[in-house]
Chain A
Amino acid sequence: MLGGEIVSEVVMQISNLTKVFPLRDSKKGFTAVDAISIDLHKGEVLGVVGESGSGKSTLARCAFGITEPTEGSTTILGESLIGKSRKSTRALRANLGFVFQDPAGSINPRMSVHNAIAEPLMLAGMDSASIDKRVNFLMDRVGLATSQLSRKSHELSGGQCQRVAIARALATNPKIVLLDEPTSSLDLSVQAQILNLLEELRRDFDLTYFLISHNLDVVSHLSDRVAVMKDGVFVEVGTTRQVIDLPKHPFTRELIRVYSGGHADAPIHFDLDTWQDGPMNRWAFQNVSTFLPTQIIHPSAKPLTLDVAIDAQLEAITIDVAGSRYLLPELLADLDTDAMVVVRNNTIVYEKYSNEMTADSVHLLQSVSKSILGALFAIMADKGVVDINKAIAFYLPELNGSVYEKATIAQALDMTVAINFSEDYLDPQSEMTRLDRAAGWRTNTTGQDLGLRSFLKTLTASGEHGKAYQYCSANTDVLAWLISEVTQRSYQDLLTQYLWQPMGAHDDATVIVDGEGLSVGNGGISCTTRDLARFGLLMVNGGRANGQQVVPAAWVEATFDGASADVESADYLQALHPGGSYKNKWWITAGSSREIFGVGIYGQYVWVDPTSKTVIAKFSSLPIPVDGLHSRKHMALFRAICAQ
């Protein structure tokens, strides 16, 4: 049986039930219910949840013999209901009861409560004394006073009406009751009364319920098993606990998120101004598209295959850093790791997910996104679309008068633009937080910086470009804007066509866009851990993937060579990587293995070691954006893995 563990007798067997409605302009018609099979067991509640148009009511109507199905069959207590005359199945149908959404509409307004309940008994041929007795019994069981027997439906409240409808449904002592949105037109406090009543009656009369509702709360509360219906099929069936606790289908997850007052595991008080900080970021980095606008970067039809041969020894390595010795799992936990994939010689040798992350989930790259932009520019320059030695304002004349009037694309790629820009992530007055506000990453009530474009125009030069390294996120956003403008295509489309598909990405990636739909190049991409590793592999493999040159080889080699020694470096960079530099949107370690890496705040990394042919993709949710200790621990971790 699908999903459940109920072993009692089968009272209703639904096999391959299909209902196709004819359409005027289509020969095929509309398939409302598509080959559904399921068994109902004695005493259970099967709940079908779905949205309007999912086919749940049509399924119920076919299953209960109200509508003739196009194909398939229903068997009740071993006897088939389909394809027989109504007369011949009358006795069989007495086993079925019906409760519908609109109680006032399902009771004849001219009938008294007594007659409404008595009608099915009269049809069954019961004598009037027995009928009166039975009606009084049912009134008592559904919690109505016999003084109300002479009333008509319009004199009753919605809840009382539904009680009458339930009494009527139970009149002939049915075994199986269809509950079609039984509480959807009732107020919350009355809904609770009716749900409690339905449960009490089920227990006392050993009823089996076929419950359908759009309301996941109602379905999950009342049901033993839940079937989630979408577009005419069950996308998921299981015990209520399985479906609620371990939903498998994305639609089920979405329903659970909606009904749980936010994401199933979203922090209760989500705040746009603090989502990047721990512990909120643990959820937020994996769910950016639920609270910020994003666009999709599409994967390849023929993804690059990564073989898997897990190296068990990696789990046992120790790492000495900052005066302590860590086992690998300890250091990963210490670094708030959400995911890590290690690829050596094109084979996955280590793969670990935590904090709800899976191989299928995406995670925000933060500034690792910059390295992806760098690769796109290498491709675009190679195709002659842009000349990276031209000033940015050559392509974006709106930026004349700003810092980008003179600064070139190459200088923005290498972070040698001399700009008045504070990259302080925690100072609310810094240009970096202004950038966040402009991009929609923080609340913006200033009335200024509405959108990245207007913000970028305000930035000014602080000296001569190309002389000194100065990390500035805005330099990447301006390039994402530039390449869209030059090609008249969206950034996500360019990435899809020139990078994500050629490199053999397996899954959708997303990129955050600002209020005007412009991609946030500096840090807005989210992707799966394996796809980030595939991106890193391009660098190890000289820019090639799937036997094709994706990124120009010369550009890859120039990146490994690093920045010219003439460029003045920064103290913090030299402290961490003596002799290191920044080139083409990558960090160059100048280490003995010639490693390069992309890094994003709160611990996002792609680490590329060309000597051991190792790529490490790592996502984290550190509590603070940057600090030296976390950086040193990461370097030690990566080097220990590559040395293995």
Chain B
Amino acid sequence: MSTVLRVSNLEVDFVINDGVMNSPLRGVNFEIKAGKTLGIVGETGCGKTLTATAIMGLLPSSAVQRGQIEFADHGVISNQQMAAIRGSEITMIFQNPQSAFNPIFTIGAQLTMVAQRRGIADIATVLTARLESVGLRDPQRVLESYPHELSGGMLQRCMIAMALLSSPKLLIADEPTTALDATIGDQVLQLIASLQKREGFAMLFISHDVTAVAKTSDEIAVIYAGRVVEIGPTADVMDSPQHPYTRGLLGAIPSADKARGTLVAIPGNVPSVLTHVKGCAFADRCSLRIDTCDQEPPIVRIGNQSVACWVVKS
């Protein structure tokens, strides 16, 4: 199966405070094949959204980006080339559908603008079919509605419809269900999965919600302080997490089956993006820390998983 997106050694620096560099992304590597989903899971401030922003070529001018992004048959792609295919071959859906739509235009007007930009003929028919395909039963009413007249779940469906208008090769979904109630969020996840089955696009799924990522993704990348610390097939990562952070994260999920007061609580907090990290960023919170952890950890291959850690052994 063909690789749609390959990200190699992606690093991002921000120039702040008169030349002091800060590195919120420090080495992100992964690839996504057609029809497959890679889930990026991590806590606030770990660089999940920044990764998506860098791939889309949307970093602000104060950012310095290194590493390679290869996309479909374009090969290595520059930010200028990305600008040409952004919104058509790569599209994105966001966390908060209410703020993603302009409140003063109807959904129909906004979808029409996108469709015109993509050079779609017979816009009315295409929009109706698209809205039906995302499970909106009454497309005409939706098209005539303003964003505030629709529920969060319906708006998120509209955003998905908009993102798929151009039949993209890659869909980036950044926390698409976080603002929704759990049951509605689950319906949206099921919808995205069925559309992906039907239309075959690759997906980068970003969420802090481990359960949502596990449900949706073929592969999981766990990101911590700007670095992918573990990556592998979903079932492997969920069943036998290797990196101490991944283990901690999975152990921290509460459930009725875990005795009260016994959740794995990783001490401390995710380091601030302003902290200059040397070596393994997780070392300060890690119970397995050894002396060498103050140096950049190697990538260890364990089964189908790749883990950035000095301590775990293959």
Contacts and interface: CB of A to CB of B under 8 A. Distances in A.
A187 B254 contact: no
Contact of A188 (B186, B249, B255, B262): B249
Contacts of A290: 190
A192 B256 contact: no
A70 B260 CA distance: 36
Majority secondary structure, B binding face: loop
Nearest to A254: B183
B263 A195 contact: yes
A252 to B, nearest CB: 11
Interface stretch (A144-152, A346-354, A438-446): A438-446
Interface in A125-161: 157, 159
A189 B254 contact: no
B208 A188 contact: yes
Interface residues of B, number: 42
A52 to B, nearest CB: 6
A189 B253 CA distance: 8
B265 A444 contact: no
Give the interface centre of A193, A214, A258 by most chain B CB atoms within 10 Å.
Answer: A258
Give the interface centre of A157, A187, A269 by most chain B CB atoms within 10 Å.
Answer: A187
A51 B248 CA distance: 28
Interface string B186-197: 100010001001
B280 interface: no
A572 interface: no
Interface string B246-262: 00110111111010111
A261 B214 contact: yes
30 contacts: A51-B181, A51-B182, A51-B184, A52-B181, A187-B208, A188-B208, A189-B249, A189-B270, A192-B254, A192-B264, A192-B266, A193-B265, A195-B260, A195-B265, A196-B262, A215-B182, A220-B256, A221-B258, A221-B263, A222-B254, A222-B260, A258-B182, A261-B211, A262-B215, A269-B235, A440-B194, A444-B198, A445-B200, A515-B133, A515-B198
Contacts of B263: 192, 195-196, 221
B226 interface: no
A195 B35 contact: no
Given A192-B254, A241-B256, A272-B197, 11 more contacts: A188-B249, A189-B266, A196-B263, A199-B261, A200-B261, A214-B181, A220-B256, A222-B260, A240-B256, A268-B235, A440-B198
B13 interface: no
A193 B249 CA distance: 12
A255 B197 CA distance: 25
Contact of A255 (B133, B183, B265, B270): B183
A269 B238 CA distance: 12
Interface residues of A, number: 46
A259 B211 contact: yes
A326 to B, nearest CB: 38
B284 interface: no
A218 B256 CA distance: 8
B248 A189 contact: yes
B116 interface: no
Contacts of B258: 221
Contacts of A3: none
B183 A199 contact: no
A440 B132 CA distance: 15
Contacts, number: 104
Give the interface centre of B235, B255, B264 by most chain A CB atoms within 10 Å.
Answer: B255
B269 A159 contact: yes
Contact of B256 (A244, A255, A269): A244
Nearest to A444: B198
Interface in A12-66: 51-52
A187 B44 contact: yes
A220 B254 CA distance: 8
A188 B43 contact: yes
Contacts of B181: 51-52, 214
B249 to A, nearest CB: 6
Interface of B: 35, 43-44, 132-133, 135, 181-186, 190, 194, 197-198, 200, 208, 210-211, 214-215, 235, 248-249, 251-256, 258, 260-267, 269-270
A264 interface: no
Contacts of A221: 254-256, 258, 260, 263
B161 to A, nearest CB: 14
Contacts of A157: 269
Nearest to B262: A196
Q: Which 5 residue pairs spanning A and B have beta carbons closest together?
A: A221-B254, A192-B252, A220-B256, A199-B261, A192-B263
Contacts of B255: 217, 220-221
A191 interface: yes
Given A220-B255, A222-B260, A188 B210 contact: yes
Contacts of A241: 256
A440 B133 CA distance: 12
A51 to B, nearest CB: 4
Interface string A183-204: 0000111111101100110010
Nearest to A201: B261
A333 B77 CA distance: 59
A109 interface: no
A409 to B, nearest CB: 29
Interface string A205-228: 000000000111110111000000
Give the interface centre of B215, B235, B254, B262 by most chain A CB atoms within 10 Å.
Answer: B254
Give the interface centre of B185, B194, B197, B270 by most chain A CB atoms within 10 Å.
Answer: B197
A93 B168 CA distance: 58
Contact of A195 (B132, B197, B248, B254): B254
Nearest to A45: B260
A319 B182 CA distance: 49
Contacts of A4: none
B253 A188 contact: yes
Contacts of A51: 181-184
Given A268-B235, A269-B235, A191 B182 contact: no
A487 B254 CA distance: 53
Contacts of A190: 269
A626 B210 CA distance: 40
Contacts of B248: 189
Interface in A263-301: 268-269, 272, 290-291, 293
Contact of B183 (A244, A258, A262, A272): A258
Contacts of B264: 192
A517 interface: yes
Nearest to A200: B261
Contacts of B214: 261
A221 B256 CA distance: 4
Contacts of A268: 235
A424 to B, nearest CB: 22
B275 to A, nearest CB: 12
B137 to A, nearest CB: 9
A597 B238 CA distance: 46
Nearest to A273: B197
Contacts of A262: 215
A191 B252 contact: yes
B43 A189 contact: yes
A293 B215 contact: no
B254 A218 contact: yes
A188 B253 CA distance: 7
B266 A216 contact: no
Contacts of B269: 157, 159, 190
Interface in A419-473: 440, 443-445
A241 B210 CA distance: 23
A515 B194 CA distance: 10
A351 to B, nearest CB: 32
A88 B292 CA distance: 64
Nearest to B199: A445
A515 B130 CA distance: 11
Contacts of B132: 517
Nearest to A49: B182
Contacts of A254: 183
Contact of A187 (B183, B211, B267, B270): B270
